[in-house]
Chain A
Amino acid sequence: TQLLEQSPQFLSIQEGENLTVYCNSSSVFSSLQWYRQEPGEGPVLLVTVVTGGEVKKLKRLTFQFGDARKDSSLHITAAQTGDTGLYLCAGSAGANNLFFGTGTRLTVIP
């Protein structure tokens, strides 16, 4: 089983602050996805990164895939209350094989 460890597990910050969430593994993945999940709903895909060293920006969110394709980070600039949720990374090791991280629960306080 390929494990993806996310840190921190919980994060509570003030609106307007910046934050970074990490996703680490000892395994190499062909691609890595980031999802955000609201309570009582299914996860929603934010981004997919496939190339080692790749950086993708989605408005205030910046995603980076590690050079060795074993880790990733999500950086949020000027957090807003709407960013509150559970952030999940997931690594793909092949068809039909997606391993989910342990999750980071983010709370943005107004």
Chain B
Amino acid sequence: SQTIHQWPATLVQPVGSPLSLECTVEGTSNPNLYWYRQAAGRGLQLLFYSVGIGQISSEVPQNLSASRPQDRQFILSSKKLLLSDSGFYLCAWSSPRGTPDFGPGTRLTVT
């Protein structure tokens, strides 16, 4: 069966500091990978998705970036965090035509 991991679970970072969130998937190959952000118990906003190594599509212009250095690894980064970057970040995977299955999430607080 497939398993998706995210770390860290929680993170508190000062404004202007860099960010790196990591997501890995086990038990599947060539998954579609996604980064979503959720604000305060509301709906999810798609930030990035990837259909393969090195292939990243951005849905929302912002100071975040994503990379996929390996087939089952997806990284969300920022060079300088803003207060507005605070939120709950969720990684998800799916088969090419499947429905996203979500990881446990990372709670980011920018102070």
Contact = CB atoms under 8 A, between A and B. Distances in A.
B51 A96 contact: yes
Contacts of A48: 99
Contacts, number: 48
Interface string B23-43: 000000000101010000111
Interface of B: 32, 34, 36, 41-46, 49, 51, 57, 90, 92, 96-97, 99-105, 107
Contact of B105 (A35, A42, A86, A105): A42
Contacts of B97: 95
Contact of B96 (A40, A88, A95, A103): A95
A41 B90 CA distance: 9
Contact of A42 (B32, B45, B57, B104): B104
Interface residues of A, number: 24
Interface in A51-110: 86, 88, 90, 92, 95-96, 98, 100-103, 105
Given A42-B105, A96-B49, A103 B41 contact: yes
A11 interface: no
Nearest to B92: A42
A100 B34 CA distance: 14
B100 A98 contact: yes
Contacts of B92: 42
Nearest to B90: A42
Contacts of B44: 43, 88, 90, 100
